[in-house]
Structure 1
């Protein structure tokens, strides 16, 4: 393991944390030369995921400093390797959570690279050449074409950037439960939490005609959920009367909340044979009483992001239905302020860093 290998000759400006304080500062580092299967990407925008916050502050005890985070990246291809067939210079592209995998296991062969035992992430991972990966809080990156997707021409590159993580994290469980298929029999879909993940789930579910109920601890979010995002119903989960009134009313619940909570009360909202799907990761085990499972024949599932085929499917679907994240733009000099606000859930609903800036975007237009 090394920060660089001999072919890392390109100097790049980025923003990195150097210790568990998580303070981000400008950082010049080296990226590899463009290889035969690589594309070099001028980074235009990079979303700020809660995972970035965990890594820069070493909340999970796995951070390799210096850490350049960012795995919700959109940009323009500026160079392609000799064996690249999927992209050309000038293409609009995105890079998400994945940088490398073994390419040979059962999961890689069926385009579920995210479940490969040897998966390496876009940052804080170890690439095939043994170097540490650095993410999208930087002016440029080099990525293997197999881990890059095309961005539809009709989507704004700033608001679509968070879909590389938040979007695919919502797309996969919904696809798995056949909720992304237009049907004459809409499902009753519940979404726990109306944040960066939850608001995207609302957009997906409504695009396919389902009845959507937001389940939240914050009564103040009801107007936002219904009038702006189009949710059909709203349950305040701390109100026992509301929870009891909606008992056995939902076919499916998508749990997007990363704070600790017991699953028992939410399971009671499901119909018999309903499914609760977990995508968030609280730092302590969630409470799981057995009776709501046993007496309702209910199922609990989980999933993480998605493979590359599904990520491109998700992007294409967003293009078809004009689905993007609701974002708040920040400039690189405001990254620390944005991380602090992110820690306090003070964002509607995703920060995106304007990496390139107006002058450089004009040069590429």
Structure 2
């Protein structure tokens, strides 16, 4: 076992605080990663505050991890000590179902193992995430990072926000000649704009806030539509090949469905606490339009995304914080007061703990 330091929630009502715990001994195919940076995802907050059911305490969140390989098991062949790597939302899966065989571990028919708040497939113990000084992960779920050292903090959110938007863009074959909408300009949406633009699509950003118009253009949108403006929306009726909806609050989907071409798809990646209002069937059947969903991405997709981002100089827009600033970061994140992702400098953990 190795002694680890981290930050944990002990209950839904208590703030995250220093926490000492043990990581497992390396199994033959394990990689130990000393964590340099960990992004802060809204899922972390949902879990720590038990806003989603099933939180097991103590809970150490964090699944946007960039670090350095510190040790490898005897059967590890793809990683070497000193290499910069990433760990995302998954740390294991059954590896033998149809989904896993297809490289889509996020849809594992026997349930993938989450980086935190999930039972380890061998011991059954609760997984503890990246708000810590190191983590131990089987090699199949460790990713190579090819960005420069100066970009590593801004790479961390790619392990969740990046792959969550990349996977549907690739699945629905977004590229040159496509008109693509991105709904919501936040942690997910800002990555959707960057990636869709880099894939060669014409990108239209949708926001409810006129104040975000210039920001969306800066991120790479060709046009910005204020979704509360009926005239601006109507001007795009029936013109989109694909729309990616990143908003995690319940809202009417019908205005976006009507913007799709025949055979167009509206894909949801934001997960609201309450259901969206039921869409009108008329808008779907008269146009053979679809509403779909997408969950993060498989390991092969994630590596593809990281390599693409390194080649095109793409990272997340971030604000760096110290470990002991996490509660304030959660407060600001709830208020949508971040552009666009907080990242914890794990070098501050020693001071905080």
Alignment partners' CA distance in 2, 1:34 and 1:250: 49
SS at 1:175's partner residue? helix
Question: Which range moved further: 296-305 or 135-144?
Answer: 296-305
Among 322, 341, 349, the alignment partner of 2:313 is 322
Q: Residue by residue, what CA displacement relative to the aligned partner does 1:10-56 show, whole Å, maximum 9, x if unpaired?
A: 21110000111251100011111122111111100000000001000
Aligned counterpart, 2:166:
171
Query: Are 1:139 and 2:137 counterparts?
Result: no
What count of residue pairs does the alignment treat as equivalent?
Answer: 347
CA distance in 1, matches of 2:241, 2:298: 26
Q: What is the aligned partner in structure 2 of residue 118 from structure 1?
A: 111
State which of 59, 66, 81 in structure 1 corresponds to 2:58: 66
Identify unmatched segments of 5+ residues in structure 1.
1-8, 361-365
Alignment of 1:288-303 (within 5 A): 288-303=279-294
Kept in 2: contact 1:192–1:216 (CA 8 A): yes
Structure 1 stretches of 4+ moved >6 Å: none
Does 1:151 pair with 2:155? no
Give the stretch that moved more between structures: 271-280 or 67-76.
271-280
2:218 pairs with 1:223: no
Aligned to 1:264: 254
- The answer to whether the 8 A contact 2:133-2:349 is kept is no
Alignment partner of 1:349 out of 327, 330, 340: 340
Structure 1 residue 230 displacement after superposition: 2.1
Provide the alpha-carbon RMSD of the alignment.
1.5
**Matches of 2:6 and 2:268 in 1, distance apart?**
33
Is the contact between residue 46 and residue 73 of structure 1 (CA under 8 Å) also seen in structure 2? yes
Runs of 5+ unmatched residues, structure 2: none
Q: TM-score, normalised by structure 1?
A: 0.92
Partner of 1:242: 232
The aligned counterpart of 2:92 is 100
Aligned equivalent of 2:33: 41
Distance 1:265 1:75 in 2: 43
Please say which of residues 96-105 and 283-292 is displaced more in the overlay.
283-292
- How has the CA–CA distance of structure 1 residues 76 and 85 changed in structure 2, closer, same or farther, with 3 Å as cutoff? same
Quote the residue 2:193 is aligned against. 202
